[in-house]
Each structure stands twice: as structure tokens, then as C-alpha cells.
Structure 1
Amino acid sequence: MEPADIVQLWSVRKTYRTAAHDVTALDGVTTGFRAGTFTAVMGPSGSGKSTLLHCAAGLDRPVAGKIVIDGVDLATLDENGLTMLRRERVGFVFQAFNLVSALTAEQNVSLPLRLAGRAIAPAEVRAALAEVNMGDRAGHRPSRLSGGEQQRVAIARALITRPAVVFADEPTGALDIKASRGVLGLLRGLVDGQGQTVVMVTHDPVVAAYADRVLFLADGRLVEEFTGDVDAESVAARMAGLESSAC
């Protein structure tokens, strides 16, 4: 049996009003993200890739269309309901690690549970850190961790609620090559080993090549996708074509 789509988008449209005119960031996007898959979202600057992630994650509401996460239609939820859904079913990893500087790695990972009012099992938090190879750094504050280590803690924090999907926005953008490879290998391992669903926005073809599938956006529309054995050279060539068309 084929795995179901954990996240589904139908004809999603998003516009932003500026002083001069309305800007269409997403223009009728329909797609889905299957359970246990790793998808990269790419496109030229202004193509709508970050808007797609924000709408798909329930961080921003579209002006038209339908978005479903783990069987829940986001349009049926008020702001409190959206907040609860994001806390319980969605994980987030950003380019800026967004760790609380005054808290240890262990305390940062347990923060989503505290915010949700859930009981915190220390063994569960330690297991989450061990999953990202940070078990021996549990008592360290962010200032004592490298960029790659901080991002690993951020990933553990994203996973602590056992979310249906993890959305990552340029998760390696602030890392050097070695740390970047480590984080991408970790995300790839979570998909392959645990069936985690990951949706990642990136501008880097090498980063995108870690995914099972690459979606290409241009002018707010889904224009192409690569699936299967994704390679960086093919992704780079397609991006070059989109960027030259955008000039």
C-alpha cells in the first residue's frame, strides 16, 4: 500500500498587499507530501518557496485553496486551534537555530512540551538528543555549541513531539560544508530509518540532492518536479534555466 499524503494543498493562492499593488506569492499550487519522504522546494528569489512552506505549515493563511495536515483541514481551525496543531503535529527547523541562550540543550529540547503543558519525561528528552548524536552535550548552553551542534539540538526540539511533518527553511544556510553534510545526513536518516516526513526549502542544489523529490516554483506556480535519484547537476541546470527566465 502506498503511504498517504501527510500534507495536501489544493489550488492554494496567497497574495500580499503593498503600497503600489497586490503581489501574488502563490498562484494556484496543488501538491502533496507523502509520509516518510524528503522533499526539497526550490525556485528563484521571489518564486514563492518560503510562502509555500509557511502556508503548508499553518504559519500563514492562504487567500484561497485548501490545506490539510495529517487529516485536519486548516481552514476549520481558529488561531488557537492552529497553534495547537503546530505544537502537536508540526516540527520546525530554521536557518537561525532559534535556541534560547539561557537554557541548556536539554531544556531547549523540552521547551515544546512545556509550552504544550505536557508532562516531560527526562528519558524522552535524552533519547531525542541521542537521536541527533548530542546526548553528551545535554547540559551545554548554545554558546558552548558549534553551529552544527546547535542545529542538531534544534532538530531534536522539532522531533520531541513526534510530529507528522518537519518543515525546514534553509536548515544548512548558516553552516559550513562539514556541518551541513552532518545535518543533511541526519535528516536523511530520520526519513529512511524512522519514516519521518521532511519538507525543506533550499537554494542549494547540493542540499536538494539529499531529497527524494525536488519541487521547482516560478512566479508562485509549481512548474516542475524531479523524483527518484535526484542529482545536484540536474537540479543546478534546472535552477539556472528558471533564474535566467526570471531576469
Structure 2
Amino acid sequence: MTTPQTTAASARPVELRSLTKRHGAGEQAVTALDRVSTSFAAGSMTAVMGPSGSGKSTLLHCAAGIDRPTAGQVLINGTDLGTLDENALTLLRRERMGFVFQEFNLVSALTAAQNVELPLRLAGRRPAPGEVAAALAEVGLADRGAHRPSELSGGQRQRVAIARAMIAGPAVLFADEPTGALDTRASRMVLRLLRELVDGRGQTVVMVTHDPAAAAYADRVVLLADGRLVDELPGADGAEAIAARMAVLEVRS
């Protein structure tokens, strides 16, 4: 039965409540995140930006359950990650989250198709006939399934990584600098693909980036400084407006 709570969780697949992360103790303690509260709506793309050391990567790692916060809550589809032990957290990440990183993280000895099906294999599930081929076709690599990562360009490797992240139908796709290792042409292709996943499939994407041009593909840009959420603006404002706001934050930091 659908309840108001489950409906709210579906509308906001990721919710952060007073999220705090400290490293060290005593006088040496460093606060990477300071009581950050926000949520990420279903079927939206959010860019997380900020100066170096602002806490944007820490926010993504805590939101994705890769790192445990010092205080506060992370809810994925209404499930509080803080209530889960490591086994349950690993299972939830595998079933409800997809990950795309700057360095692709593909297994070099496997083909593109084998890399894409790897999350299903790790979950003990055999891919349905045509499932992997369809995932590769969706990212424009229908004819590259038998190629190993070394035989693919950087942009193609990142698209394989996106297909791998999407194969299990995650509630949220976390992307950490997904275009950081790509040239301009490949970056645009990857960003258009992420945008199409949001617009065509209703996918929720949370992307950390330092690039205003990448952030302009998002519906919403969240800005951090000194571990705090200090501002947000629509991606539709464009790269120049985003860059100008970032420049102000960098001067202050």
C-alpha cells in the first residue's frame, strides 16, 4: 500500500538532513560538511559545485554511502543509511545506486559487455536475453560490446561506465567529475547522455563537477563553501552565470 511517506520518498530519492562530516579530533579536527540539508528530486539532474575543499566530494561520498557521516542522516528512497550495517549498505548501493567516476573504473580484462553485466553478476542475477546489448545500444555503443576498455576512446569508456551504472535500474545515479578526463567533444556527448537519461527515463542524477559548462546541463546547481550549502541556482542560467557565481565563492574561500 502506498503511504504519504513512501510517496515522499519516491519524489525525493535522496534526502540529506543536517549532514555533518568531521575528520580528526580536538584542535586538529577539520569539518568537511557542516549541517548540510537538501534533497534531490526524482527525475532531475543536480550539479554540486564549490571551490577546492568546499566539501562537494565528501557530500557525494556520504550521500552514496561510501563514507559514513559524523552526524545527520542520509535517506535513499526513505531508508536511513545510518541504520544499515555494512552488508545491508552494500546491498542497497548495489540495488538502488549507480556510480560513474572520472577514471571510469572499468575492468581492463573484460569486454564492454562483460563490464556492463558485472553488477548483475555480482548480485547473483543472470542478465535477461538482450539486456546488456540494449544497455550498450542506449549509450550509442551497440557495436562495441566485444571491445575491451583499451580498445575504446575515453568517451566510449565513460559511456560503458554509464551503461554499467544504469543496468540495475538505480533510484539515483551519482557521478563524480564524469567529464574530468575527457576532451570537450566527448564531454558534451556524455553530458547529453546524462541529460537524456533524466528527460527520457526519469532518472535522478547527482553530479559533482568543477566545470560550469557541465553544470549548465543540470536542472539545479547546488553551491558549497567551507562545508556549507551557501547558494543554488538553475542550470538554465547558463555556464557564464554559474562561472560568475563560482568566482565569487573562490575569492571568498
Q: Residues 83-103 of structure 1, C-alpha deviation per residue, up to 9 Å, x if partnerless?
A: 000000000000001100100
SS at match of 1:35: coil
Q: Identify the residue that residue 103 of structure 2 maps to in structure 1.
A: 96
Establish whether residue 161 from structure 1 lines up as the match of residue 157 from structure 2. Answer: no
Tell me the residue number matched to 1:170.
177
Distance 2:155 2:26 in 1: 40
TM-score (norm 1): 0.97
- Are residues 15 and 69 of structure 1, via their aligned partners in 2, closer, same or farther at CA, if it must alter by over 3 Å? same
Task: Give how far 1:18 is off.
Answer: 7.1
Which consecutive residues of structure 1, in runs of 5 or more, have no partner in the other structure?
A: none
Residues in 2 aligned to 1:46 and 1:182: alpha-carbon distance in whole angstroms: 28
Code of the residue aligned with 1:74 in structure 2: it is L
Task: Give secondary structure in 1 for the equivalent of 2:236.
Answer: coil
> How many angstroms does 1:120 deviate by?
1.9
Residue of structure 2 aligned with 1:80, choices 83, 87, 90: 87
**TM-score of the two chains, using structure 2 as the length reference:** 0.94
Match of 2:43 among 12, 31, 36: 36
Are the counterparts in 2 of residues 213 and 230 from structure 1 also a CA contact under 8 Å?
no
Contact 2:133-2:145 within 8 A present in 1 as well: yes
Which aligned pairs between 1:187-202 and structure 2 lie closer than 5 A?
187-202=194-209
Residue matched to 1:128: 135
Q: How far 1:79 sits from its partner (Å)?
A: 0.4
Structure 1 residue 14 displacement after superposition: 0.3
1:63-117 Cα distance to aligned partner (Å, 9 max, x none): 1111100121111100001100000000000000110010000000000011111
Structure 2: distance between partners of 1:151 and 1:122: 24
**2:95–2:168 contact (8 Å) kept in structure 1:** yes
In structure 2, stretches of 5+ residues that fail to align are 1-6
Instruction: Provide the aligned C-alpha RMSD in A.
Output: 1.5
1:175-195 Cα deviation digits (max 9, x unpaired): 000000000000000000110
* Cα distance per residue 1:123-181 (max 9 Å; x no partner): 11111111101111000000100000000000000000000000000000000000000
Cα distance in 2 for partners of 1:179, 1:228 equals 20
Q: Is the 8 A contact 1:43 1:218 kept in 2?
A: yes
Aligned-residue sequence identity (percent) comes to 70
Shift of 1:229: 1.9
Partner residue of 1:8 out of 5, 11, 15: 15
- Superposition deviation, residue 227 in structure 1: 2.4
Distance in 2 (alpha carbons) for counterparts of 1:235 and 1:182 = 21
In 2, the alpha carbon distance for the partners of 1:185 and 1:52 equals 24
Cα displacement (A) at 1:4: 1.1
| Residue of structure 2 equivalent to 1:224 | 231
Matches of 2:164 and 2:157, distance apart in 1: 11
Residue 3 of structure 2 aligns with which residue?
Answer: none
1:122 deviation in Å? Answer: 3.9
Q: Contact (CA 8 Å) 2:105, 2:161: kept in 1 or not?
A: yes
How far apart are residue 20 of structure 1 and its match? 6.5
SS at match of 1:143: helix
Residues in 2 aligned to 1:74 and 1:152: alpha-carbon distance in whole angstroms: 29
In structure 2, distance between residues paired with 1:20 and 1:224:
29
